[in-house]
Structure 1
Amino acid sequence: MKLSTILNFVILIFFTLLFVNDFFPDTAIAAMLTKKIILLILVGLVIIQLAFDKGRYKRLSKKAYIGLTLYTVGLWIVLTLLGGQSQIGLSFTSPLFYIIVVLLGLDLIRLSRQTKRDQTEEKAK
């Protein structure tokens, strides 16, 4: 397995821990790993990832973008349904949630149109 893939997976794990820590601040995990520590680890991992990629810009595939978006929104919903309450105000019943979902939907539509346009240009060549 490539180091880049492992780093991405570890970043996703710490991102999930950050969400769990926000929704359930009184758990044992939250006592051991505070939000500041998790954020420092995430920043460090992202810096390592950027250094590993040597400044090359890698665009996320459409599938990966959709998967990451659905994972984040799904995590948000599941943690709320499990009885967690976000310390920074994220909640399933918040208008901010619906605004973000609409914006992500519009961005996915934009990405889909861009992909179709790129495929059409490739066929024309």
Structure 2
Amino acid sequence: MAFTLLFILDYFPNIPLGDSIPKGVLISLILGLFIFSLIFKKYRDINNKEILQWQIFSTIYILLIMGILTILGGQSSSGIAIDDGILWILLLISLFDIYSQYKKIKRTEA
């Protein structure tokens, strides 16, 4: 939820919602959740298949949010946009990682 709000505030910085929720609070929330997940990671049993599913979901989610916000007329104030070449390079790296994880899972299942 916080990640989505950050994207909305980035693409539409002048909306009334932007004044009510400071970006610093959202960034702190995301960092806090990240640190919390690192601390309690050892207590969870996560397999490679779940990691692969999360990678696929998060990649698609980010692209959908960016696409929807662009279609709605927003423009990223930080420069993260669908027509950015660096985004596509990062997407290709992510897809390569997803594919290599998929092959690794298939090898262990066989």
TM-score (norm 1): 0.69
Q: Which moved more, 1:103-112 or 1:69-78?
A: 103-112
Distance 1:70 1:121 in 2: 25
Distance 2:29 2:79 in 1: 23
RMSD: 2.5
Q: Which residue of 2 aligns with 1:18?
A: 6
1:102/1:122 CA distance change after superposition, 3 Å: same
1:111 to 92, 98, 108: 98
1:90/1:114 CA distance change after superposition, 3 Å: closer
1:83/1:18 CA distance change after superposition, 3 Å: same
**Unpaired runs of 5+ in structure 1?**
1-12
Distance 1:48 1:26 in 2: 32
Distance 1:84 1:46 in 2: 28
1:75 to 47, 52, 65: 65
Which of the pair has the greater relative contact order for Cα pairs under 8 Å at 6+ separation?
Answer: 2
Shift of 1:117: 4.0
Q: Which moved more, 1:57-66 or 1:45-54?
A: 57-66
**Unpaired runs of 5+ in structure 2?**
none
8 Å Cα contact 1:21/1:34 also seen in 2:
no
- CA deviation vs aligned residue, 1:72-124 (integer Å, no higher than 9, x gap): 0111111111111211122333xx2x43224323432343234324533553x
Q: Which residue of 2 aligns with 1:42?
A: 30
Runs of 4+ more than 6 Å apart: none
What is the percent sequence identity of the aligned residues?
31
**Rg comparison, structure with higher value:** 1
TM-score (norm 2): 0.76
Number of equivalences: 108
